Structure 1
């Protein structure tokens, strides 16, 4: 009975597992899913069922707004991105993670096959589950390899000493993650590796903030606050965010924003290009642009192809609307009429890399900052 109950809770929560955050309903679905699992593990099965039902409620609300197909697409994008990051850090050839990489690829291919033959919502849910299995394994592999790289970096910066208490804890967690991996317990392996990453974030965040602050000060000394104001202002805001997250002991977000400052400083011509930044961090902040845009209906300024094209994170020029139309002719009968919820593909304009679905709570690059 307990095993059946756990499977029931687990199946309800696929829509809130390891995908990217899209809106409040998604976040609540994920939160209640986690509470359901915690209650189940504590033996409080009635409370677990109650939380699971809440997770289902918010998942259903999310699906009604975006459509299940839209979430399939978002899950696919997230899984492909993490697989590419895993491969980019050497996961395919690393002796300890190559099998994990192969399994992630198998999950990806399985998701593609299920989706291609899908006939109902159950098939779409199974597709999502397989994409999320792939995403989980890719993130795990990425974390396991990055632990070694980041240890070396922090040791070289005298923040970590080989064999000290922090280092022992990091290595114990990494070894624990590999043990779980050997047992094919990917969830506990991921949690354990993430704990090691959390220690590394805590140690690196203050160092990264100090370097980011120095880089921004140097940029101002060189006059880039006026001559390259767009990048400077973005870096300045990121430094403020990094400081706030650091004070709140949210080391992961503080670190990401500090890395953004360092990357932007390098682009402006200052800063130390040798500062450590993982592949994932670089991709997040090197002027990210969305590949997909979901049409929104508003009381004022409702979406049109012209308005979408005018957004800075799209093309920054409404007159380029036809480029979007040409790429989406299969779903747009009349370019003057687009429907709420339509998922539009945004082709690259200046060779910029585009990925993921646009989210209003994320910061994107300005296309005008890219020179052709």
Structure 2
């Protein structure tokens, strides 16, 4: 008798804890658990103790299966929610050229999102959620920035002291005058005397080559606010 009551109590408790409040509560396992619980109670009232135990055990088994089903569905929902957030974050990052301005963070995020989709396809909901969270976290430091300029138009020496050394030292170019030869080698064919790096003239459109894969576009505009170039960017 105690065993019957104990098993019935578990089945009833499982039904209330594992099913109530969830959209998945009407799953087949829970319905069976409820039916067997009623049968077990009826058999107990009728004094059919062995049959009551049999029904109670089946109620317990199906209640456990219901819990496993609900847990799985909730895990899937969590994975789907995080993957939607990750996809939205990646699309946002793409829209602000993060793939060019923050290539390492962006590629890390894309790889994590790919892993999330692979895990989801394998119904590994927990891993899918974790990978999706990683995809979001990888973009934490990403922000919209003005791309560094790809070109610079030389201005008069009297106004700007433009020369390869000084131009190279400006933050939006290389932030280091010692890197001036990169500018010279890229642009010397445009110069009237290619072998003399001192002979640059106002109006010359100088290309600023990328040194570390940094994204550059457009011509330098003094009205724009550029971040400083960094080899770690």
TM-score interval for Structure 1 and Structure 2 normalised by the shorter chain:
0.3 to 0.5
**Structure whose residues are more often helix by fraction:** 1
Higher relative contact order (CA 8 A, sep 6+): 2
**TM-score, normalization: structure 1?**
0.25
Greater C-alpha Rg: 2
**TM-score, normalization: structure 2?**
0.37
